[in-house]
Amino acid sequence: MSEIIEPIEGFGLSIKLQEKKLFSKIGVVGCGRDGQNIVGLTASAGLEVVFVEISNDKIQLALDNISKNLDTKVENWGLTASEKRSIMSKITGSLNYEDLKGCDFVIECIRYDDHTGERNKMMRKEVFMNLERILAPDAVIATNASTIIITELASDLEHKERCISLHFLVTQPEAKILEIVKGLYTSDEVFEKMKLFAKLIKHDYISVQESNGLVSLRLFVTMLNEACQMLMENVASLEDIDKLLQVGYGYRLGVFRSADILGIEKMVPLMNNMFDEYGDKKYKPSPLLLRLFRAKHFGVRTRKGFYLYDENGKLTGPAALA
């Protein structure tokens, strides 16, 4: 009787012929509020995530904040304690870009400057250069941005076609939708990968042409300026304007609450950037926004903006804006 010999690779005893799974390892550079949101989303979807920060203190702060956000879901029966532990086990913080080796997708998400409210363009270009040095040529490099043009960030790279822009609506985590922006060099293959990524994290998406402010910010700041104008004209109270948007149009937080969460220190420079780009006064920050900005009443982070907040970020009432 002849001996029967079968290959064993297909039975999982060897990884020699196994194909690497797409998005087997995700990287995030910068883990402030936006980065924490992205890390939490990707880890919750079952993906391994490595984030890079500039100090051990910032790494620990990011991990603590992500853990607290998950605790809220546990308390509201949206997650079990064991599921939270599983999610946190998929997250690793690092000080070293080298730890991003093996990632097939990395998102740049460096912090806004606390004083200017801007994310330095040259620093972001430097991040892209560092990532190209570390990553495989087919790994995707993305930025989480609404006003930065991805073509400009990619222009100095050798593999420009791998670069793309994603925009997460972090003020309203329940609104699970991404803006995906192809640059001048972005390949169709990379765009298709981002569509798959959106599906993996249970998000819908829209395709947006490369433009300053995309769809979300251009709509939002126009509405915010008009709401500020109505407030200055005493057409309605701050709370009632937000209530009308919430109850009448299904806007979860209202425009003033959303601005406080985004941060006035970020909104004003973004709006100035858009005004410079388009020359349209509808993007120029309202005098009321400028008053808050100059007073450093930035919103939730400083506990005072359009509304007042306690030390835990809980709303306590409207601020006196006169």
Strands 177-182 and 105-108: unpaired
- Could you give the residue ranges of the DSSP H alpha helices within 168-307? 188-200, 216-232, 238-243, 249, 255-262, 264-278, 287-294
Residue 241 predicted with pLDDT over 60: yes
Distance, CA of 232 to CA of 286 (rounded, Å): 10
Tell whether the model's pLDDT for residue 7 goes beyond 70: no
Query: pLDDT tens-digit profile of 36-60?
Result: 999 999 999 999 999 999 999 999 9
The pLDDT value recorded for residue 146 is 85
pTM for the model stands at 0.85
The 10s digit of each residue's pLDDT in 164-221 is 999 988 766 677 899 999 999 999 999 999 999 999 999 999 999 999 999 999 999 9
> Which residue in 281, 280, 220 sits closest to 256, CA to CA?
220
Res 15 pLDDT > 60 = no
Please state the rounded mean pLDDT for residues 217-226. Answer: 96
**Chain segment 114-144, per-residue pLDDT in tens:** 554 456 788 899 999 999 999 999 999 999 9
Q: What's the CA gap between 108 and 1, in Å, rounded?
A: 62
pLDDT of residue 17: 45
**Beta strands 315-318 and 307-309, pairing class:** antiparallel
Residue 318's pLDDT band (cuts 50, 70, 90)? very high
Alpha-carbon distance of 140 to 186, in angstroms, equals: 10
The candidate with the shortest Cα–Cα distance to 253, out of 220, 289, 287, 295, is: 220
Residue 133, H or E segment: helix 121-134
